[in-house]
Structure 1
């Protein structure tokens, strides 16, 4: 099943959802089209399953990162985790953040869930970074942390889009560029 979803992700990333046929995916996966329909029921359901698998890859390390007690280090690791996902799953990144990001319905909801999980983890970390007692100092501080987390995630996504076009840039250099531009504005509020 995972192999079929990998192939589907590859085909969707090259052709987009609307231009991809179940026949292309079946051929790439070495299965029959009826078998795809038996497993998934429709191209929409296959796309949703593909998005779910890609999103699970993205989220796989986030829970472990949140256990890091140092908020500054954790924030850097969240950014690195995102970049590592892009580096290892370029086609999955393309599916998740190019076409699916603007989707509505179940696919849009699934993409929003994955993206919001990163935003929530980042907001919690930013709030802890700015309040060492780890207690919410005010509603304003919480709102500010969420706003900054949205800015951070958006900037990392934009950086990742640029980075895909410049694969000669090592991941650590890209991480450093993002950290240098973002970290001063995320702490000491």
Structure 2
């Protein structure tokens, strides 16, 4: 089980070139680049914004929203909604049998293709950031990701911050990292109305 705090935005279309360049140059940086190309299958739960169920390879992952952490003003033109989630993972080769042709035809699951760029930042005592591996979830830190999505042949993209580590520091961690990282963000608004997690995106827009 993993407890996280998350801020995320979703937008239709492909990642704008200015944002893609910003992420590579100012967030990932040369020595800490992590790219991932994958397919995830999500269970569609109409009208449900607080629970996500995802199947990836032989892992079944659930995410449950346990609280809203409030609205954060991260820059003059950037506002996001912070949420606290509990993530659980089950690994079993038999889980692949959940996605049968019959299930796909009925539309109970939806495939989301992802090309994700990601880095983790640890938060030091003086609130400075240190790049680290995304596997270092036990230390107070925050993953920063920029992901191109394809769902039902339609392109979307998402920018997200997901903090994990000590429970009592999660909110301050995600806020600290987001504010510092977004200082150099291009002159584009990130609006509160576009700030939500995967379950709402799937429930409303897919």
Higher alpha-carbon Rg: 1
- TM-based fold match above 0.5: no
Return the structure number with greater relative CO, CA threshold 8 A, min gap 6: 2
Category of TM-score, reference length = shorter chain = under 0.3
TM-score by length of 1: 0.25
TM-score by length of 2: 0.24
